[in-house]
Structure 1
Amino acid sequence: MNDILTAGRAFLDREGRLIERRLAAVLFDDADPAGAVDAVRAYRNSDGGFGHGLEPDKRCPDSLPIDVERAFDVLMTAAESPRYVETRRPLGDSEMVREACDWLGSVAHPDGAVPLAFPVVADYPHAEHWSDWAYAPGLNPTAGLAGRLHKMGVSHSWLASATDWTWKRLEAGFDEDAHTLVEVLEFLAHAPDRARADSVSAHVRDWLPGLRWFRADPSDPAYGVTPLHFAPSPDSPWLDLFDEAIIGGHLDRLARDQQDDGGWPITWTPPGTASTMEWRGIETLRALRTLAAFGRL
């Protein structure tokens, strides 16, 4: 199993972008997390948002909510290092995070909701699936952004509005896809109102069957969101949604999916060769983190 880690790290060293290489060093080598924080800073715009293809399916330089979400993920991963606690202020007090919240508030609808992106995406190379649907405010990404900010301990006027909007949407029911449910579960795991979160969470198991893009069967080769996206570690609050055998089957599949070059494949078509390799680096780091968390490395 150590061969999986060695080959995956070698793939990242050869093909991965700087962010994933710095994060891998933080996670597996106890490296200084400041390098990963500085790497994501390069995607930051003067308006406080993030862009420049931080999420690689579009090459738009403008600030987009989806890129802000990806920036938060990098910062939270870097903050998992004990060395982050020793050397840097809490994420909730981070200037980058506060100014990103200011930007989100400036582009949000009056009720607090934000879309994944804006029509400016169409002016740049982008994957075919990025189209009008991504420009409508929704739980994806509003709920996920709010959940991440609650996890980071942020207090901000936009977060308050986004949280209120998310509760109203969820308490009216859920009829969206698996990607959106991943965002919703991030919110439910970290929203401060735990009684309200527990009440909504009781319905999650009923939402799963037939959910679009949910790939429950480990042998299914199609594109999709698997149980390991919902529960990427044994301490996930959502692990008990799935039978132990299902989780084990997906872990086996994840290990088998490693390619001869050491990286993991993707099952969609990004806009170019560079973005394809960037995504493979992202997926390789995700696979290594998940396998490590479950004791498979």
Structure 2
Amino acid sequence: MKQLSHDAFKRARNWILMKGRPLEQALFAYEFENGTADEVLNALHAYQNVDGGFGQGLEPDIQLKDSSPIATSVALQHLVRFADEPKADTMIREAIRYLEYSFLEERQGWLAVPMKSNDYPHAFWWTVHENGMSWIDENWGNPSAELIGYLYLFEEYVTALHIPKLIDQAMQHFLQLESFKSEHEIYCYLRLFAMIPSQRTEKVERQLTKAVQSLVKLDRENWEKYVPFPLKFIPSPDSPSFGIPEFKIEDNLDFFVEKIEEHGKLTPTWEWNDYPEAWEKAKQDWSCILTEGTLSALKRFERLSNE
């Protein structure tokens, strides 16, 4: 079991503090250096628009300034950690307002990004086609399943949508899946079930295990590519393993320790086909997001050396 050395941790820290956005810098400080929730929320607030939704390139592969459901889901992933803070409460209330406004009756959910996203630099998989959908929207649960979880969690702010009906619909969709084409849809469902644990029945657990087993890549050579590796499904030592062998989880942790030891950071395993200048900036932002997130994961799994 490999531990990340203090020297490698310091190099990763310096990378985040030199090259990271204020949000990742504040998240790192909160996690490791007694930073405050207020600093994180102030940084996150810069991405919230007047309609309550989030945009402004919060998800670096989508440089759309306007709000989008997918960027709002990213923001809410952060906001749930700080939901007891008054500033977070206000931001959440406004985000729920946006989700109600952007809800599509005919879809009984949301499309990830609006057509206007095409007017800004973006990764090719976020291109919205003539039918109003991106490739991401072929899998309903990303981000709709996750967003329904936030509606449930903050139901006191929901005025127009019928949450039990939406939960039932999300469950039916998940349990009827016979094949699993999108790991991101499963990530969204895992977040949904974390917010609504009462829905985690034995039947759901069997379906989740089937999904993870069909998607997860267990061999090291795959982890150099953009794939769903074990830690994507097992974010903490307390998480269910879904049948992933313990030694593969440990190997995945070793892999990321080695990467940061070697490079002092992580870099994205994907790239854009267009907008080369914008991609260079997005690539740097992603590097800091990935590095900060992985350092936090290594901390949870007690993989940081004190020496």
Q: Mark yes or no: TM-score above 0.5.
A: yes
Name which of 126, 138, 142 aligns with 1:130: 126
* Residue pair 2:268, 2:286 contacting (<8 A) in 1 also: yes
Report the Cα offset of residue 121 of structure 1: 1.0
**Residue 59 of structure 2 is aligned with which of 42, 46, 55?**
55
Distance 1:192 1:162 in 2: 16
User: Distance between the aligned counterparts of 1:12 and 1:113, measured in 2?
Assistant: 35
Residue 29 (structure 1) shift? 1.3
Tell me how far 1:148 sits from its aligned partner.
4.6
Instruction: Report deviation, 1:225.
Output: 1.4
Counterpart Cα distance in 2 of 1:154 and 1:29: 34
- Which secondary structure does the structure 2 equivalent of 1:203 belong to? helix
Q: Which amino acid aligns with 1:248?
A: E
CA distance in 2, matches of 1:147, 1:219: 35
For the pair 1:97 / 2:104, whether they are aligned, the reply is no
Distance (Å, rounded) in 2 between the aligned partners of 1:216 and 1:29: 33
Alignment partners' CA distance in 1, 2:53 and 2:87: 19
CA–CA distance in structure 2, aligned partners of residues 137 and 120 of structure 1? 21
Which residue in the other structure is 2:31 paired with? 27
* Distance in 2 separating the partners of 1:105 and 1:174: 30
Query: Any idea what SS the aligned residue of 1:51 has?
Result: coil
TM-score between both structures, scaled by the size of structure 1 = 0.87
**1:5–1:174 distance in 2 versus 1, CA, 3 Å:** farther
Which whole-Å CA distance do the structure 1 matches of 2:241 and 2:101 have between them? 36
Deviation track 1:172-223 (CA, whole Å, cap 9, x = no partner) reads 22533212111111112321534x5443122222223443xx4222332221
- Distance in 2 between the 1:168 and 1:74 partners? 27
Native 8 Å contact 1:104 1:158 kept in 2: no
**Cα distance in 2, alignment partners of residues 287 and 107 from structure 1:** 32
In structure 1, distance between residues paired with 2:101 and 2:93: 13
State the secondary structure of the residue aligned to 1:205: helix
Looking at structure 2, the residues matched to 49 and 96 of structure 1 have their Cα atoms a distance apart, in angstroms, of 9
Counterpart pick for 1:293 among 272, 280, 300: 300
Deviations 1:109-154 (A, max 9, x none): 216311211221111111122123235671010112233554x554
Change (3 A) 1:109 1:119: same
- For residues 125-164 of structure 1, the aligned pairs below 5 Å read 125-131=121-127, 132-135=134-137, 138-148=140-150, 150=152, 152-155=153-156, 156=158, 157-158=160-161, 160=163, 161-164=165-168
Shift of 1:267: 0.7
Match of 1:107 in 2: 102
Counterpart position of 2:131: none
Amino acid in the other structure paired with 1:7:
R
The CA distance in 1 between the partners of 2:118 and 2:34, in whole Å, is: 40
Distance 2:91 2:162 in 1: 15
The superposition leaves residues 34-81 of structure 1 with CA deviations (integer Å, 9 ceiling, x where unpaired) of: 01101111111111101011000021101001110111122234x2xx
Shift of 1:102: 1.6
Residue of structure 2 equivalent to 1:283: 290
SS in 1 for 2:125: coil
CA distance in 2, matches of 1:58, 1:46: 19
Structure 1 counterpart of 2:228: 225
